[in-house]
Amino acid sequence: MVAAATGFPGRSRRRPHGCPATSRRYERRRPEKTPLHKIISENLESWLEWREAAEEAAEEAAEEAAEEAAERPVPAYVEDELRGYLECGLLCFGFARARCTTCGQGFVVAFSCKGRGVCPACNGRHMAQTAAHLADHVIPPVPVRQWVISVPKRLRGFLADRPAAVAVLTKIFLDEIERLLLAASGGTPDADMPKAARPRLGGISFLHRFGSALNHHVHLHACVTDGVFVPAADQADCDAPPAFVPARPINQADLAALTERVRRRVIRWFRMQRLLDAAAAAEMLAWENSGFSVDASVRITLVDRGVPSYFRSLEHLLRYCARPPFALERISVTRDASGRIARVRYVLPRHKAANWVGPGRGRKSTRPGASGVVELSPFEFLDRLADLVPPPRKHRHRYHGVFAPNHKLRKAVTALAIGNIGKQRDAAAGGHGGDGHATGGCSDAHQTPRSHDTSRIAWAKLMARVGEEFPLECPNCGGDIRLIAFITEPGPIRKILTHLGEPLEPPPVSPCRGPPTDWGELVQAHDDREAVQVSPDELPVIDIHGL
């Protein structure tokens, strides 16, 4: 019935979160057995040395001065991410002890690295936590539409290393979306209308630095309310809930007009910043295919929003927008005769299926069931992985419109979210908003902060919400599991792991390997004569016991 009403294809729905399946049990992850861990542990040191040697060779070729030497070829935060992943989920670096309150069965839970770009487990936790927080405590029960924009390849290089360009593109894109939604909802604000009384949208933008084929592709995803919020008539009471005016359906003409306005404003900004000259800007404006692509085909209605485990629900859309740059299950390796990793294969999703070989693209296949593959060497794979790691202390999603931290309507709008029902009294008393951040407007001298931060959700609840498996449920008797200790000292760690039969040392990290060398090419000069070093197979056999 829901599929017919929304136009989505029918699909069986799993049970919602909070009702974990009894047939599934939580099992501790073992990252050391995954292909990603083996790729990094076997090639990290050699790759770092290779990148450093390549950088030194480039500096010598360019004849740069010593005081103008470039920084380390691999950024420090990328190396820290890779080394931190090698320690994530391993019991030998520390763990938490848990015990069943019913049968007394003991368990151990390894620590995580809390990385931002490499570790699939930590990225998955961030994805699920962000989506759950936004769906429960930020976005009220209104229709939501996803907007996606990508720019021409000529401008993507500027977005990769200039945060100001990304900020301007985000502002222009959200401004044009708000302009379209205002016209689609039947209201156009007057020029003399106060800024606080104007209708505003509510949106969250996500910056993606990656494509579906492990390529560096900077583009934006935005989850925007499919309508605008109109402030209450009495502006003195900023806690009054605003009225939501839904927008009419968006058609292709609306998208074409929005894309053209965004294109002209973005190119004009690049021209003003002298990143493009007048000839290049005029050439881009004259292109028949502008290179700017805007998509707004995904819309989440109120009918599907209340089913968290449905594949077209709001929470699934937010997980898609906050997803990590790659999927672990799509990575596989092939080894050569010596046992080393020769090629890394990454399978593309079905809707992006194509035949990929190395850095170039072959023929593209769009038939159902087609499976494209990206084949890379280990060093090429690490190069792409390093480009996809987000820089530290940079936000990966931002709030706009009434969701902005300093907007006067944020407190009243977020109070309508599903997870904040019953907390309006706290908001009216002058507390913080539904997401744990202070809001502007209607200040109270007796504000009291919340006792907890709603943006942080317990690890066990996230596991039950995503995978329908509750990790704090004993697999033997079904009782509750409680954490009793955190083990960080080497002595107790070794004793407990010896008792459990777990390895006491982490998987070895392969040392740096030199370039392959042929024995016939090793020639040494000695006393002005050439001496050829023979192969080890040709050396005489010496009996060391007879010496």
Residues in Cβ contact with 270 at an 8 Å cutoff, skipping those fewer than 6 apart: 155, 158, 165, 276, 281
Q: What is the reported pLDDT for 546?
A: 46
Dihedral pair phi/psi, residue 269, rounded to 5°: -65, -45
Per-residue pLDDT tens over the stretch 147-183: 999 999 899 889 988 889 999 999 999 999 999 999 9
What is the value of pTM for the model shown? 0.77
Q: What is the reported pLDDT for 303?
A: 77
Q: What is the reported pLDDT for 197?
A: 75
Q: What is the reported pLDDT for 236?
A: 46
Q: What is the reported pLDDT for 436?
A: 42
Residues in Cβ contact with 443 at an 8 Å cutoff, skipping those fewer than 6 apart: 430
- Domain positions in the chain are 138-189+196-322+396-456
Q: What is the reported pLDDT for 538?
A: 54
- Count of beta carbons in the 10 Å neighbourhood of residue 460: 16
Q: Give the burial class of 168: count Cβ atoms within 10 A of its Cβ; 0-12 exposed, 13-18 middle, 19 or more buried.
A: middle
If we measure between CA atoms, which residue out of 422, 310, 423, 297 comes closest to residue 351? Answer: 297
Dihedral pair phi/psi, residue 330, rounded to 5°: -95, 0
Q: What is the reported pLDDT for 26?
A: 62
Strand ranges inside 443-533, DSSP E = 481-487, 523-526, 529-532
Per-residue pLDDT tens over the stretch 296-350: 999 998 877 765 555 568 888 999 999 999 999 999 999 999 889 999 999 887 6
Helix, strand or coil, per DSSP, at residue 63 = coil
Give the C-alpha separation, 55 to 74, whole Å: 9
Listing DSSP states for 103-116 in one string gives T--EEEEE-----S
Report mean pLDDT in 10-residue bins for the chain, 547 residues.
31 39 63 93 91 70 44 81 92 89 86 88 89 90 94 90 92 95 80 73 93 88 94 63 90 93 95 93 89 91 66 84 91 91 85 40 43 85 91 88 91 86 54 42 41 56 67 78 88 91 88 58 44 48 47
Q: First and final CA of the chain: distance in angstroms?
A: 89
Report how far apart, in Å, the C-alpha atoms of 361 and of each of 231, 323, 327, 350, 358 are.
51, 24, 20, 16, 8
Per-residue pLDDT tens over the stretch 226-274: 999 998 776 545 566 789 999 999 999 999 999 999 999 999 999 999 9
